[in-house]
C-alpha cells in the first residue's frame, strides 16, 4: 500500500484512474431501439448550423455580414464547430442496431427461395 504524501501523487493517481477507466455501456433492448428510432432522419450539418443561427437570431446575436461587408466570423466558427462534432460522431461513434425479426424473416425467406435478397431493416442508436 503506497502512502499519499503530496498533491502530485494524488493527481497522478487520479489521472491514471481516469485514463484507464472503461466507459460503462448499458445494453438497450432491441424493442426500445425500434420504438425510439422510427421517425429519425439522421444527422445534418446544414440543419444543425441553421438551428444554431436561428437561435442566435432569437437571442439578438448578429449573424448577418458585418457592416464592412466582411463575412461574420461567428457563423464561420459555428460551421467549424458543427462540422467537427458531426465528424466525431461519424468517425468514432459506436452504433448499436436492432433488426426487426419480421424484416429478418422476410430477408431470410427471400434468400432461401433464391429470389432477390431483401435487406433486413433495423433501427439503431449512436453512443
Question: Which cell numbers hold the place of 27?
Answer: 445494453
Query: CB–CB of 125/37 below 8 Å?
Result: yes
Dihedral sign computed on CA atoms, order 25, 29, 30, 31: negative
Dihedral sign computed on CA atoms, order 56, 62, 65, 66: negative
**How much is the pLDDT for 19?**
67
Please provide the distance, in angstroms rounded to a whole number, between the alpha carbons at the two ends of the chain.
37
Distance between CA atoms of residues 30 and 96, nearest Å? 9
Question: Which cell numbers hold the place of 36?
Answer: 425510439
Per residue of the chain (127 residues), what is the pLDDT tens digit? 455 566 777 777 777 766 666 555 667 776 777 676 666 777 888 999 999 999 999 999 888 888 888 888 988 999 999 999 998 888 888 878 888 888 788 778 877 777 666 667 777 777 7
- The model's pLDDT over 43-67, given as tens digits with 9 standing for 90+, comes to 888 999 999 999 999 999 888 888 8
Distance between CA atoms of residues 102 and 108, nearest Å? 10
**How much is the pLDDT for 1?**
46
**How much is the pLDDT for 80?**
93
Amino acid at each position: 500500500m503506497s502512502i499519499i504524501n503530496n498533491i502530485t501523487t494524488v493527481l497522478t493517481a487520479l489521472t491514471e484512474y481516469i485514463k484507464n477507466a472503461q466507459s460503462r455501456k448499458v445494453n438497450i433492448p432491441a424493442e426500445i431501439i425500434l420504438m425510439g428510432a422510427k421517425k429519425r432522419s439522421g444527422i445534418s450539418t446544414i440543419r444543425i448550423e441553421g438551428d444554431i443561427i436561428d437561435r442566435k437570431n432569437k437571442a439578438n446575436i448578429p449573424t448577418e455580414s458585418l457592416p464592412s461587408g466582411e463575412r461574420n466570423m461567428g457563423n464561420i466558427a459555428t460551421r467549424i464547430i458543427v462540422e467537427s462534432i458531426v465528424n466525431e460522431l461519424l468517425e468514432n461513434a459506436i452504433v448499436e442496431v436492432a433488426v426487426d425479426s419480421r424484416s429478418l424473416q422476410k430477408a431470410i425467406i427471400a434468400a432461401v427461395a433464391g429470389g432477390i435478397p431483401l435487406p433486413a431493416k433495423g433501427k439503431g442508436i449512436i453512443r
